[in-house]
Chains A and B, each alone.
Chain A
Amino acid sequence: MAPRTRTWLACIVFAALIFSFDVNLPLGVAAGAFYVIIVLFTVRLTNRWDTPLVAGLCTLLMAIGAWFSPPGTALMYAIVNRCVSLIAVWATAYAIIRFRDSQAELAALNSELEARVEERSADAQQRAETLSQVNASLEREVKQREQAEIQARDSQAVYASLVEDLPIPIIRKDAEGRFLFANQAFCSWVGHELSEISGKTDADFAPPALAEKYRQDDLSVIKTGELFLDIEKNEHGGKVNWVHVIKTPARDGDGKINGTQAIFWDVTAKRIAEDRLRESEDLYHSLVDTLPLCLLRKDVEGKYTFVNKRWCEYFNVQAEDLLGKTDFDLFPPEIAKVYRDGDAEVMNSGDVYEDVELITLPDGRERSIDVVKAPVRDSEGAITGVQIILRDVTEELELEAQLKQSEQRLQAVLENTSAVVYIKDAEGRYLLINREYEALFGVDNEEVRGKTDYDLFPREFADAFRKVDQQVLQRGQTIEIEEVAPQPDGLHTYVSSKFPLKDETGAVYAIAGISTDITAIKRTESQLRESQQRLNLALTSAEIGAWSWDVYKGEAVWDDRMHDIFGMPRGSFAGTSEAFFDCLHPEDLERVRQAVQSSIDQKEIDLDVDFRIVWPDGTVRHITSRGAAVRGEDKRPARVAGVCLDITERKHAEQQLKEYASRLEATNRELEEFAYIISHDLQEPLRTLQFFSDSLQVNLKDQLDEQSRADLQFITDAAQRMQQLVRDLLALSRTGRAEMKKDRVPLQACLDDAMSALSNRVRETGATVDIGDLPEVRGDRVMLTQVFQNLIGNAFKFVPESTSPHVSVTAHSRDGMCEVCVADNGIGIKPEYAKKIFAPFQRLHASAEYEGTGIGLAICRKVVRRHGGRIWVDPSGEAGAKFCFALPLAGKSAPPASQLSTESV
Chain B
Amino acid sequence: MESPPTILLIEDNPADQEMTRRALKHANSAIELEIVDDGEQAIDYLLRRDVYADLPVASPSLVLLDLNLPKLSGKDVIREVRKTGALAHLPLIVMSTSHAEEDVLESYQLGCNSYLIKPNRFDSFVATMELVIRYWLEGVCLPKPK
**Closest partner residue, chain A, to B26 (CB atom):** A698
Q: Contact check: which of B13, B16, B97, B121 meets A694 at CB < 8 Å? A: B121
Whether, in the assembled complex, A688 has its beta carbon less than 8 Å from a beta carbon of chain B, the answer is yes
Interface string of A685-709 (1 = CB under 8 A from B): 1111011101101100000000000
Whether, in the assembled complex, B120 has its beta carbon less than 8 Å from a beta carbon of chain A, the answer is yes
Whether, in the assembled complex, B79 has its beta carbon less than 8 Å from a beta carbon of chain A, the answer is no
Contacts A684-B13, A686-B120, A723-B120 given; does A691 touch B125 at CB 8 Å:
yes
**Least Cβ–Cβ distance between A462 and chain B, in angstroms:** 96
Whether, in the assembled complex, A326 has its beta carbon less than 8 Å from a beta carbon of chain B, the answer is no
Chain B residues lying within 8 Å of A692, measured Cβ to Cβ, are 15, 19, 122
Chain B residues within 8 Å of chain A by Cβ, number: 13
In the bound complex, do residue A687 and residue B122 qualify as a contact, i.e. CB atoms below 8 Å apart? no
Interface centre among B19, B122, B125 (most CB of A within 10 A): B122
Q: Contact check: which of A684, A686, A698, A723 meets B122 at CB < 8 Å? A: A698
In the bound complex, do residue A691 and residue B97 qualify as a contact, i.e. CB atoms below 8 Å apart? no
- A690 and B125 CA atoms in complex are apart in Å by 11
Q: Contact check: which of A687, A697, A698 meets B120 at CB < 8 Å? A: A687
Chain B residues lying within 8 Å of A697, measured Cβ to Cβ, are 122
Chain A residues lying within 8 Å of B22, measured Cβ to Cβ, are 695
Chain A residues lying within 8 Å of B15, measured Cβ to Cβ, are 684-685, 687-688, 691-692
In the bound complex, do residue A694 and residue B122 qualify as a contact, i.e. CB atoms below 8 Å apart? yes
- A687 and B121 CA atoms in complex are apart in Å by 7
**Closest partner residue, chain B, to A685 (CB atom):** B15
- A683 and B100 CA atoms in complex are apart in Å by 14
Chain B residues lying within 8 Å of A691, measured Cβ to Cβ, are 15, 19, 120-122, 125
In the bound complex, do residue B97 and residue A684 qualify as a contact, i.e. CB atoms below 8 Å apart? yes
Chain A residues within 8 Å of chain B by Cβ, number: 15
**Least Cβ–Cβ distance between B116 and chain A, in angstroms:** 13
**Least Cβ–Cβ distance between B133 and chain A, in angstroms:** 19
Contacts A684-B13, A695-B22 given; does A690 touch B121 at CB 8 Å:
yes
- A590 and B67 CA atoms in complex are apart in Å by 56
Within 8 A of B (CB), among A615-644: none
- A569 and B78 CA atoms in complex are apart in Å by 78
Interface string of B98-138 (1 = CB under 8 A from A): 10000000000000000000101111010000000000000
Interface centre among A683, A684, A695 (most CB of B within 10 A): A695
Chain B residues lying within 8 Å of A742, measured Cβ to Cβ, are none
**Closest partner residue, chain B, to A696 (CB atom):** B122
Chain A residues lying within 8 Å of B121, measured Cβ to Cβ, are 690-691, 694
**Least Cβ–Cβ distance between B146 and chain A, in angstroms:** 39
Interface string of A787-831 (1 = CB under 8 A from B): 000000000000000000000000000000000000000000000
Q: Contact check: which of B97, B118, B122, B123 meets A680 at CB < 8 Å? A: B97
Chain B residues lying within 8 Å of A694, measured Cβ to Cβ, are 121-123
Chain B residues lying within 8 Å of A686, measured Cβ to Cβ, are 120
**Least Cβ–Cβ distance between A424 and chain B, in angstroms:** 97
- A719 and B92 CA atoms in complex are apart in Å by 31
**Least Cβ–Cβ distance between B25 and chain A, in angstroms:** 11
Q: Contact check: which of A683, A690, A698 meets B97 at CB < 8 Å? A: A683
- A698 and B26 CA atoms in complex are apart in Å by 11
Interface centre among A694, A697, A723 (most CB of B within 10 A): A694
In the bound complex, do residue B97 and residue A687 qualify as a contact, i.e. CB atoms below 8 Å apart? yes
In the bound complex, do residue B97 and residue A695 qualify as a contact, i.e. CB atoms below 8 Å apart? no
**Closest partner residue, chain B, to A695 (CB atom):** B122
Within 8 A of A (CB), among B50-94: none
- A690 and B15 CA atoms in complex are apart in Å by 12
Chain A residues lying within 8 Å of B19, measured Cβ to Cβ, are 687-688, 691-692
- A687 and B13 CA atoms in complex are apart in Å by 12
**Closest partner residue, chain A, to B13 (CB atom):** A684
- A503 and B12 CA atoms in complex are apart in Å by 124
Interface centre among A683, A685, A687, A698 (most CB of B within 10 A): A687
**Closest partner residue, chain B, to A734 (CB atom):** B99
Chain A residues lying within 8 Å of B120, measured Cβ to Cβ, are 686-687, 690-691, 723
- A686 and B19 CA atoms in complex are apart in Å by 13
- A799 and B123 CA atoms in complex are apart in Å by 33
- A697 and B121 CA atoms in complex are apart in Å by 11
Interface string of B1-30 (1 = CB under 8 A from A): 000000000000101100100100000000
Chain A residues lying within 8 Å of B125, measured Cβ to Cβ, are 691
- A688 and B122 CA atoms in complex are apart in Å by 10
**Least Cβ–Cβ distance between B9 and chain A, in angstroms:** 15
- A694 and B127 CA atoms in complex are apart in Å by 14
- A358 and B122 CA atoms in complex are apart in Å by 134
- A686 and B120 CA atoms in complex are apart in Å by 8
- A683 and B120 CA atoms in complex are apart in Å by 9
**Closest partner residue, chain A, to B126 (CB atom):** A698
Within 8 A of B (CB), among A636-688: 680, 683-688
Interface string of A305-343 (1 = CB under 8 A from B): 000000000000000000000000000000000000000
- A466 and B106 CA atoms in complex are apart in Å by 103
**Least Cβ–Cβ distance between B135 and chain A, in angstroms:** 22
**Closest partner residue, chain B, to A730 (CB atom):** B99
- A723 and B121 CA atoms in complex are apart in Å by 11
Chain B residues lying within 8 Å of A688, measured Cβ to Cβ, are 15-16, 19
Interface centre among B13, B16, B19, B120 (most CB of A within 10 A): B120
**Closest partner residue, chain A, to B23 (CB atom):** A691
**Least Cβ–Cβ distance between A488 and chain B, in angstroms:** 84
- A687 and B98 CA atoms in complex are apart in Å by 13
- A683 and B99 CA atoms in complex are apart in Å by 12
**Closest partner residue, chain B, to A694 (CB atom):** B122
Chain A residues lying within 8 Å of B16, measured Cβ to Cβ, are 688
In the bound complex, do residue A687 and residue B123 qualify as a contact, i.e. CB atoms below 8 Å apart? no
- A680 and B121 CA atoms in complex are apart in Å by 17
**Least Cβ–Cβ distance between A851 and chain B, in angstroms:** 18
Interface string of B30-54 (1 = CB under 8 A from A): 0000000000000000000000000
**Least Cβ–Cβ distance between B105 and chain A, in angstroms:** 15
- A698 and B124 CA atoms in complex are apart in Å by 13
- A691 and B118 CA atoms in complex are apart in Å by 11
- A723 and B120 CA atoms in complex are apart in Å by 9
Interface string of A359-374 (1 = CB under 8 A from B): 0000000000000000
- A690 and B123 CA atoms in complex are apart in Å by 11
**Least Cβ–Cβ distance between B58 and chain A, in angstroms:** 31
**Closest partner residue, chain B, to A680 (CB atom):** B97
- A720 and B22 CA atoms in complex are apart in Å by 20
**Least Cβ–Cβ distance between A613 and chain B, in angstroms:** 51
- A690 and B23 CA atoms in complex are apart in Å by 13
**Closest partner residue, chain B, to A687 (CB atom):** B120
A–B pairs, 27, beta carbons within 8 Å: A680-B98, A684-B13, A684-B97, A685-B15, A686-B120, A687-B15, A687-B97, A687-B118, A687-B120, A688-B15, A688-B16, A690-B120, A690-B121, A691-B15, A691-B19, A691-B120, A691-B121, A691-B122, A691-B125, A692-B15, A692-B122, A694-B121, A694-B122, A695-B122, A697-B122, A698-B122, A698-B123
Q: 13 additional contacts, CB 8 Å, given A687-B15, A688-B15, A698-B122?
A: A680-B97, A680-B98, A684-B13, A684-B15, A684-B97, A685-B15, A686-B120, A690-B120, A690-B122, A692-B19, A694-B123, A695-B122, A698-B123
| 3 tightest A-B CB contacts, nearest first | A694-B122, A688-B15, A687-B120
List residues of chain B with CB under 8 Å of any chain A CB.
13, 15-16, 19, 22, 97-98, 118, 120-123, 125
